[in-house]
């Protein structure tokens, strides 16, 4: 059984699936993907994320605001805590820092404040965090430590940093999640991390509809394609596909208390 630990089902265009969401889910099942986490990026569309989780018992969801969504509503801790009461919500996020797209200091200040709010909501609800970090690894780790995020832990989603960053994140009680990026020929440093991360500290994901793995690179991504991430991880770690499937799914269930 495979688990797609991070996807945006509400953002996937359904035309290739005969405009039928159930067909998208069926394609995932055909690839033995039996569990998915649909991740929220703004509270305005939280219901779109919650809906598939309410319809399918093997789909879970989160609540949070992506750090680049400055035009979105910035929820208070109480608002996040209230939305997290839905039984389908198993995580807070995605949240974090993204300096790649931020050009002004006030953007970073807004991100910092919202990030801390998410961490506090996670601690209040005892739900793990889903962390997005881009060009901001030092500040991301600093804020996680300052806010004692290790109390709930979580996952460094779509990890694309070096081994030193991975080690520091794991010390803070975070798992490392590998997306289709790990299948890219240019991702040598990330592939080194994939080889070294302990078997009980990693997840796999698609981040669909973005970042389709090789051999689907350049096409819209979907949960069924997490199998290609698993295949690459098996190659890098010199083990069986079945071992990757089992370890990553066991880790997902342990992290999110399923």
CA nearest neighbour of 2 among 184, 157, 229: 229
Architecture of the domain spanning 2-255: Alpha-Beta Barrel (3.20)
Tell me how far CA of residue 26 lies from CA of 31, 40, 102, 224, in angstroms.
9, 22, 38, 9
* CB-based contact 217:184 (threshold 8 Å): yes
213 DSSP assignment: P
Task: Check residue 38 and give its pLDDT.
Answer: 98
Place of tokens 């010390």: 171
Q: In this predicted structure, what is the pLDDT of residue 102? A: 72
- The string over 83-92, giving b where at least 16 C-beta atoms fall within 10 Å of a residue's C-beta and e elsewhere, is bbeeebbbbb
Cis bond before residue 167 (omega within 30° of 0): no
**Verdict on whether the full-model pTM lies above 0.95:** yes
- Measured in whole angstroms, how far is the alpha carbon of residue 242 from the centre of its chain? 22
Q: What is the pLDDT of residue 106?
A: 63
- The pLDDT, as a whole number, for residue 108 is 85
Residue ranges per domain, the chain?
2-255
Q: What is the per-residue pLDDT for 101? A: 79
- Alpha-carbon distances, residue 98 vs 8, 134, 175, 183, 228 (angstroms): 18, 5, 19, 23, 27
- Which residue has 């109480």 as its token pair? 78
The Cα angle at residue 240 between residues 239 and 243, in degrees rounded to 5: 95
Average pLDDT for runs of 10 along the chain of length 258: 98 98 98 98 98 98 96 96 98 96 74 97 98 96 98 98 98 98 97 98 98 97 98 98 98 98
Q: Identify the pLDDT of residue 107.
A: 74
């Amino acid at each position: 059984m495979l688990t797609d630990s991070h996807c945006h089902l509400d953002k996937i265009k359904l035309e290739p699936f005969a405009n039928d969401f159930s067909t998208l889910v069926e394609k995932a099942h055909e690839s033995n993907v039996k569990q998915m986490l649909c991740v929220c990026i703004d509270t305005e569309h939280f219901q779109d994320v919650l809906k598939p989780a309410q319809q399918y018992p093997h789909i879970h969801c989160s609540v949070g605001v992506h750090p680049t969504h400055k035009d979105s509503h910035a929820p208070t801790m109480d608002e996040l805590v209230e939305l997290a009461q839905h039984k389908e919500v198993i995580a807070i996020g995605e949240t974090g820092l993204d300096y790649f797209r931020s050009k002004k200091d006030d953007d970073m200040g807004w991100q910092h404040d919202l990030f801390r709010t998410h961490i506090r909501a996670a601690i209040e609800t005892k739900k793990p965090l889903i962390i997005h970090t881009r060009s901001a690894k030092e500040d991301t780790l600093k804020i996680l430590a300052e806010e004692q995020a290790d109390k709930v832990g979580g996952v460094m989603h779509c990890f694309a940093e070096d081994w030193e960053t991975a080690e520091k994140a794991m010390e803070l009680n975070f798992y490392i999640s590998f997306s289709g990026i790990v299948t890219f020929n240019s991702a040598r440093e990330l592939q080194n991390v994939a080889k070294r991360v302990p078997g009980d500290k990693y997840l796999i994901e698609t981040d669909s509809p973005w970042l389709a793995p090789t051999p689907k690179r350049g096409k819209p991504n979907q949960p069924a394609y997490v199998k290609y991430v698993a295949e690459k991880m098996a190659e890098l770690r010199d083990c069986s596909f079945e071992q990757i499937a089992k370890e990553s799914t066991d880790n997902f269930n342990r992290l999110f208390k399923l």
